[in-house]
Structure 1
Amino acid sequence: MRNTKRGARDGRKLVRTGALVLVLLLLAFCYMPPGRAMWTELRRACGLLPFAQSLPNADLTVYAIDVGKADAILIETPEGAVLSDCATAEQAKTVLRVLKQRNIQKLRAVWISHADSDHVGGLTQILREVPTEEVVTSMYTELTGLPEDQIVRTVSAGET
């Protein structure tokens, strides 16, 4: 009976070790030229290749800023940076720290998806410290406490 339990335990350990080795080999393969070619063909088959090819690596960088349950996404291009949502008022300092680390001294725009405090709460603090060309929001979002000269553009569904 004791040997049976030990044998079962050893079998499970062998299966886990084998699975780990298989995963590591798969990861290594994905970074080799044949693996990269395989992923390129898979993207082509799924219709994603034109999208992937239209975004050169150095031209677009997207950062999801860790602000807890709130939202803040920084998008950088050679033409400038855009912030999508601003986290809560309590987390605005985290967003500002990331902007400083990225040496962003001006934002082309801040996009506000909707008026929940975890999306718009840090907006006034961020606008006070980082000049922003325009704030873009939906017609359903009322913004208060903005600098008097701040441009706010209201957009609706279907606009690009």
Structure 2
Amino acid sequence: MARRNRFFKKRTMRKIWAASLAAAAALLVTVNSEFSLNLPMVPTWEEVLEAAGSYGMENLSSSSSQLPQGGESSPSSDTPLPELLGETLEVHIIDVGQGESILIKGPSKNVLIDAGENDKGDEVLAYLKSQGVQSLDMAIGTHAHSDHIGGLDTVIKAMPVKQVILSPIPEKIVPTTKTYTDLLEAVLDKGMTVTTAVPDTQYSLGGGAVLTILGPRREYNDLNNTSVVCRLTYGDAEFLFSGDAETASESTLLSMELDLSADVYCVPHHGSSTSSSKRYLDAVGPKIATISVGKNNDYGHPHKEIVARLKKYCPFYRTDLSGNIQMVTDGETINLTTDAGESYSVDA
């Protein structure tokens, strides 16, 4: 986070100096030419423009390091970080009861992660429209359980969607449920194909916002651990989305020594004790946590031990108590509000 701040300040100062030097040189050229002073060592216009280009002036009015839609490998610590363009990014945890649905409104692209149970599709659509979302650049189904992908077919049928990303599923556990086949049929009916989530693929959401697929990293024998895990970065602000990934998936990610750090942690598996291990939470180091969970659900989510564990790290907000949860960030500060009237701010 601190490295990103230093990077932005350094690049901004470099551009200011480039602009100042170019302006001074241009003034000298103009005066020398206008008054025929024939001053020695005065550069030509061509030399001024060439020097300006070498100092990065050609990038003053455009965004740099924009990632292609298809994605690139995860950047190393020496890779230049994308520059923010002054917009804000929003993350909405939509209250869909005992399920999960997350809307990301990037500076130029919209992403929906899951859409709750089969009967929640219309509610998700209504929420999207209430937020001014008329189309989606990506719809991500974290894994093939109905409380996550059940409403996606309704959304895909009713709204333009450019890309559908689903988790890889080993052949021996590919579901034959109506929920899963309805989703696949909705994609086919739109003349689309499914994109399989591939680790380390990055997607630009505009303005320097980047969504990176972190997992799953290997095959599992249960659907929860096939959940797509992804990390969203915008300036210093970082969000981690883990679907229903359990400790097996968490352990794999930890063994890869990936950057899992996040200011906002969307608690996996509705706060189940099968997820959110202490090692995983230590790696994430959250400042805010959110739990997508239904009131008086049959599973006892969130489990008491996870609630107790989260309290040691950060404040957390539950959809069963707070309703919809909205977070807005400019890349430096994250401001959270809920339908219940709660508010909280944290520096990224």
Please give the TM-score of this superposition, normalised by the length of structure 2.
0.30
Match of 1:61 in 2: 90
Per-residue CA deviations over 1:84-114 (Å, capped at 9, x if unaligned) read: 1111111112211111101211100001110
Per-residue CA deviations over 1:3-55 (Å, capped at 9, x if unaligned) read: xxxxxxxxxxxxxxxxxxxxxxxxxxxxxxxxxxxxxxxxxxxxx44568877
Per-residue CA deviations over 1:44-96 (Å, capped at 9, x if unaligned) read: xxxx4456887788421000000012110000012121001111111112211
Task: Return the match for 2:196 from 147, 154, 159.
Answer: 154
Deviation at 1:159, TM superposition (A): 3.5
Unpaired runs of 5+ residues, structure 1, are 1-47
Alignment of 1:119-138 (within 5 A): 119-138=148-167
Query: 1:156 is matched by which residue type in structure 2?
Result: V
Large movers: runs of 4+ above 2 Å: 48-59, 141-145, 155-160
* 2:121 is the counterpart of 1:79: no
Instruction: Return the alpha-carbon distance in structure 2 between the equivalents of residues 106 and 49 of structure 1.
Output: 35
Q: 1:51 to 1:61 in 2, by over 3 A?
A: farther
Query: 2:101 is matched by which residue type in structure 1?
Result: A
Task: Return the match for 1:144 from 168, 173, 184.
Answer: 184
Match of 2:142 in 1: 113
Instruction: Return the alpha-carbon distance in structure 1 between the equivalents of residues 143 and 161 of structure 2.
Output: 18
SS where residue 132 of structure 1 aligns?
Answer: coil
Task: Judge conservation of contact 2:121–2:153 (CA < 8 Å) in 1.
Answer: no
Task: Judge conservation of contact 1:67–1:91 (CA < 8 Å) in 2.
Answer: yes
* Percent of matched pairs sharing the same residue: 30
Instruction: Return the alpha-carbon distance in structure 1 between the equivalents of residues 103 and 160 of structure 2.
Output: 15
Instruction: Return the alpha-carbon distance in structure 1 between the equivalents of residues 89 and 151 of structure 2.
Output: 24
Task: Judge conservation of contact 1:133–1:151 (CA < 8 Å) in 2.
Answer: no
Q: 1:159 to 1:126 in 2, by over 3 A?
A: same
Deviation at 1:137, TM superposition (A): 1.0
Instruction: Number of aligned residue pairs: give it.
Output: 113
Instruction: Return the alpha-carbon distance in structure 1 between the equivalents of residues 195 and 120 of structure 2.
Output: 24
Match of 2:38 in 1: none
Instruction: Return the alpha-carbon distance in structure 1 between the equivalents of residues 95 and 108 of structure 2.
Output: 24
Please give the TM-score of this superposition, normalised by the length of structure 1.
0.61
**CA RMSD, aligned part only?**
2.4
Task: Judge conservation of contact 2:101–2:116 (CA < 8 Å) in 1.
Answer: yes
Q: 1:51 to 1:155 in 2, by over 3 A?
A: same
Q: Which has the higher helix share?
A: 1
